[in-house]
Amino acid sequence: MKPATPALGLLLALTACGAPTPSAAPNTLVIAGYGGSYEEAFKKSVIPGFEKSCGCKVTYISGSSTDTVAKLKAQQAAPQIDVALIDDGVQNQAVEAGLLAALDPKKVTNLANVIDIARLPGDVGVGFSLNATGIAYNTDYYAKNGLPAPKRLADLENAGLKGKLVMPSITQTYGLGALLMAAKVGGGSEQDIDPGFAGVKKVAANAVTFDTTADVSNYFLQGQAVATVWGNSRVQTLAAKGFPIAFVYPEEGALPLIATVNVVNKAPHADLAHTFVNTLLEPEAQQTMAAFNFNGPAVNGVTLDPELAKKVVGQDQAADLRKLDWPLINKNRAAWTDRWNKEIETS
């Protein structure tokens, strides 16, 4: 999907750095971040404008959040990466490992415009786009089989979904989201996860497989699955290709999935990295991320095309998303994974 503003690649951040200077020209900013549509958006509509405005070059290294943090750890003594784009849960692990630097609000002036849920403790990094974890379902299959549209996680226990549900594994974000949603429904939380396992076990009885990739598109396209716990942006990407799929914000509440941008601790080009972070928080960049990836703006005052606005996590939905206790979750993640493998995927 092309961004709503055709000339955005030329316009983005033209005022972010001022006129290029000879000393800035040789600089190369190294960014490690997401692949796929994110990488496409950055290379087509974000990076060209930034390079032009700053008289610099950008090298983009694609990989998962876990891959990026592994690179940062390997280079910790002599960092080669300046900016890291990481999912919020993994980002917390990078913070605790001392891999990321606090942002300077005098350099990242757009921090003041960031909505509450995207502000991070100590401003070590910042959320630059919003997604939500909820329920995805094949609208045609549900209609043809007389199944009511799901409204809550427990609706995925429907007997009509036996062998037609793809369940995300706890090894990736959406599986963890399912566990936390089930915990809340059962009166639990990150602090009391037992109800989560009880709830997920009921849903998992319908699972045809447990996906570890976080991208279940092929399961839907091939008809192997008709429902799952998934992210809104991924659902909208598949829907934009004409597939009959819809996203549901469950009654118990959707969970936030925040893409964060971070300056690496002791980055070789720290000043330029701060400038790039500030650029991503500009309205034009926020519009680009929404148009390419169906991720909602993380700053106030961003105007989107009305049809696009209906498909992304908007300010109203963002206000209803709950902040997660990532330090506690990450502390328990290994134990939860072991328990999941014993109680859910082998049951």
* Beta bridge partner(s), residue 59: 30
pLDDT at site 315 = 85
Instruction: Enter the tokens of residue 304.
Output: 């989107």
Domain that holds residue 270: 8-130+257-318
Question: What is the pTM assigned to this prediction?
Answer: 0.85
249 and 265, same domain (yes or no): no
Residue 6 has pLDDT above 50, yes or no: no
234 and 337, same domain (yes or no): yes
229 and 190, same domain (yes or no): yes
Find out whether 264 and 31 touch, Cβ atoms under 8 Å.
no
166 and 306, same domain (yes or no): no
What does the pLDDT average to over 78-100? 96
263 and 204, same domain (yes or no): no
Q: Which residues lie below 8 Å from residue 121, measured CB to CB, with a gap of 6+?
A: 95
234 and 276, same domain (yes or no): no
Query: pLDDT per residue over 151-203, tens digit each?
Result: 999 999 999 999 999 999 998 889 999 999 999 999 999 999 999 999 999 99
Cα separation, 203 vs 26, whole angstroms: 55
pLDDT at site 92 = 95
Question: How many separate domains does the chain show?
Answer: 2
15 and 140, same domain (yes or no): no
Position 222 in a domain: yes
21 and 162, same domain (yes or no): no
Residue 290 has pLDDT above 90, yes or no: yes
Find out whether 276 and 345 touch, Cβ atoms under 8 Å.
no
For residue 143, the domain's CATH number is 3.40.190.10
Residue 86 has pLDDT above 50, yes or no: yes
pLDDT at site 14 = 38
Rounded to the nearest integer, the mean pLDDT of the chain is 90
pLDDT at site 347 = 62
pLDDT at site 26 = 53
Position 144 in a domain: yes
3-state SS class at 32: strand
Position 13 in a domain: yes
- Using pLDDT thresholds of 50, 70 and 90, give the confidence band for residue 27: confident
